[in-house]
Every structure is written in structure tokens, then in C-alpha cells.
Amino acid sequence: MEPIVVKNLTKTFNGFKAVDSINFTVKKGEIFGLLGPNGAGKTTTIKMLVTLLKPSSGEAKVAGYDVVKQPNMVRKNIGIVFQEPTLDLELTAKENLDFHARLYGLNKKRREERIKEVLKLVDLYDKANLQVKKFSGGMQRRLEIARGLLHFPKVLFLDEPTLGLDAQTRRKIWDYIIEMKEREDVTIILTTHYIEEADKLCDRVAIIDKGKIIALDDPENLKKMVGEDVVSLTVNDPERLIDELALEEIRKIVRIEDRLELSVVKGEIMIPRMVEIAQKVGVEVKSVSLRKPTLEDVFIHLTGREIREESGKNAFWRR
């Protein structure tokens, strides 16, 4: 049995399709990522899967249960870490976990053992009796992840697990998530708009844009869609240069403002040729860079836009 099966799932808000007939299946034990810009429909999808929102049409099964017909069975079998914090700041870390364990009906013995276990997993055991309001953002996040795991869920949902955290804390959270996947018998589905996060953590990634899944594969295969190398050229007249660069070796060109993103096979050989062409037609090249494709390039390749353009704006105040 697959932990998550989604069929033609749709959510409409006042005529606007936030999620538009998406299909995917998450395999047991994997980390599955939903990657896309803010407003792409990731969180709406998650909210339907965790029974907080009713789908407009389509169906979804989580841990074998229908999210509309058996919401309580779904809830028993999932753990959730929301985008915004959901801890009681007045309570201690341990009390927050105890509260959760009792809500999920764990008995006393199991409760005590398990609280200790998950606190150790996220390195907060020595902070167990500290009020959560004294925790840093990263510590709160870790505690929430521990709490999500507390009641032995079959599926764990992480909605933007590192939103608003600094880079160093973000990496630490990733380590915890990877460790968790190795040690616990749990399937993880996460949403993110951080490219690196999807790439480092996920076994498979669904790229979602405007309510639709536009690609779904493991990160390596997704990147192969773009090609071997990506050359980025910033120039003063991009339109002019596009016309001139109709070379066989250039698989695809995407223009973002005054920048051209080119998918090529041997970037280091292509760069001098492209610069030469630009000079010949009188286009000024301001900067050049060469890189291996990232999931960002996959998104650009598919949509002609960047994921990042609208991300991160709200990041610092959320957490």
C-alpha cells in the first residue's frame, strides 16, 4: 500500500484554482518534495491531505484512508509540522510533547519513553524542562519536528520546514530530517521553495506551478532535462542576441530580464563562441557564468520564470 495516493485533486477558492487536478503517489519510506514558488498550491495541497481543507474535487488517500471519508483515521496516522509555529510558548518542551502524546492517546509508559527518544533525536533532551518561549527559532522548529514524530505516524508532513531560518540552522534541520528518515519507519512529504532543500533531502521531487505539477522525478533526472551545463549571460540587448544564438549546440534559451539562461552540452567551450557572436553583432556582454543545472534551472526551463523571484520576502517575520 502506498502511503499517499492523490488522484485529480483540485481546490477552488472563489473560482480560482489553487490546486488544479494534480496526481501523484508517494512511495513508502521516501522523502517526497513539492517544490514551487509561493502561491503555487503546495500548502493548499498539504492542507487537503491533512484534512484541514476539503477538496473541491478529486480524491486522496493518506496511510490508506480517504481524507474526506475517514479524516480521523488519517489524523491518527500522520504527523504535521506547519509552516507557522504551533507550539504553546508558555509550556516547556516536555509539556508540549506530553500534551501532544495524550491527545494522540499514547499510554503513560510509551509516552515517557517516546518523549525522551524524540527529544534526543533533535538534540533537545537537555532543554526538556525549559519553557519554549526561551527557545530560538531553530530550536522551536526542531521541537516541532520531534513532536510531529511523537505518535509514530506513518506519514510525516513538513510544510516549509526551514522557512525563515538562517542557512546554518537550515542545514542542521536537514541533518535531523535525514537522520529521522533513517531511524524511523516513516514516509516524509515536504513542501519547499528552497532549491537546495529539495535537492539535498528529497528522493523524488514534484515541481508545482500555478496549481499544477509540471514535472515529477528524482532530482538527478529532473536536472538532466535541462542538459549538462547552464550558461548565464547578462547583456544589454538580450532580444537581439537570442536571434543570433540559434546554434545546434544550444538546446534551450530562456530570457529573464537582461539575462539569458542557455542549456548547453559543453559550457566551457560554448562561452567563447557566444561572446564572439555577441561582439560580432554589437551586443555588450556584462557578465558570464557557467554552472551545473540546479532544480531552479529546471523550473526556469519549464516555466520561463525563477522560483526565487517571489520567495523569501516574508521569510524573516514568519519565524
Partner 1 sequence: MELQGIYILWLRDLKRYIRARSRIIGSLGMPIFFLAFFGMGFRRVEIPSLPQNITYIDFLAPGIVSMVVLFTSTFSGISIVWDRQFGFLREIMVAPISRTTISLGRNLGGATTALIQGLIMIALSFLIGFKPSINGLLFAFVFMFLIAVAFTGIGIAISTFMHDIHGFQIVINFFVFPIFLLSGALFPISELPKFVATLALFDPLTYGVDGMRWAMIGYSEFNPLYDLAALLIFCVTIVFVSAALFSKMEVE
Give the footprint of partner 1 on this chain (CB under 8 A). 47, 50-53, 72-73, 75-76, 80, 82, 84-91, 95, 98-100, 102-105
| Direct distance between the N- and C-terminal alpha carbons of the chain, in angstroms, rounded to an integer | 36
CB of 216 to partner 1, least distance (A): 26
Strand partners, 156: 79, 188
Region of residue 127 (phi > 0: left; psi between -120 and 50: alpha; otherwise: beta):
alpha
Q: Buried b / exposed e across 164-193, counting CB within 10 Å, b at 16+?
A: bbeeebbebbbebbeebbeebebbbbbbbb
Residue 7's alpha-carbon distances to 19, 23, 79, 257, in angstroms, are 12, 5, 22, 37
CB of 211 to partner 1, least distance (A): 17
When the beta carbons of 64 and 85 are compared against partner 1, the nearer one is: 85
Nearest-angstrom CA–CA distance, 131 and 174: 24
Which SS3 state, helix, strand or coil, does residue 301 take? helix
The phi and psi torsions of 282 (rounded to 5 degrees) equal 80, 25
When the beta carbons of 58 and 153 are compared against partner 1, the nearer one is: 153
Nearest-angstrom CA–CA distance, 289 and 263: 12
When the beta carbons of 100 and 193 are compared against partner 1, the nearer one is: 100
When the beta carbons of 9 and 253 are compared against partner 1, the nearer one is: 9
When the beta carbons of 292 and 318 are compared against partner 1, the nearer one is: 318
Do residues 31 and 177 lie in contact, with contact meaning Cβ atoms separated by under 8 Å?
yes
Joined together, the cell numbers standing for residue 12 give: 477552488
Nearest-angstrom CA–CA distance, 280 and 106: 73
CB of 99 to partner 1, least distance (A): 5
Joined together, the cell numbers standing for residue 314 give: 516574508
When the beta carbons of 122 and 300 are compared against partner 1, the nearer one is: 122
Number of alpha helices (DSSP H) and beta strands (DSSP E) in the chain:
12, 14
CB of 34 to partner 1, least distance (A): 18
CB of 50 to partner 1, least distance (A): 6
Do residues 100 and 78 lie in contact, with contact meaning Cβ atoms separated by under 8 Å?
no
When the beta carbons of 28 and 54 are compared against partner 1, the nearer one is: 54
CB of 103 to partner 1, least distance (A): 4
| C-alpha torsion 192→194→200→205, nearest 10 | 50
CB of 32 to partner 1, least distance (A): 20
When the beta carbons of 101 and 307 are compared against partner 1, the nearer one is: 101
CB of 75 to partner 1, least distance (A): 4
CB of 95 to partner 1, least distance (A): 7
When the beta carbons of 56 and 303 are compared against partner 1, the nearer one is: 56
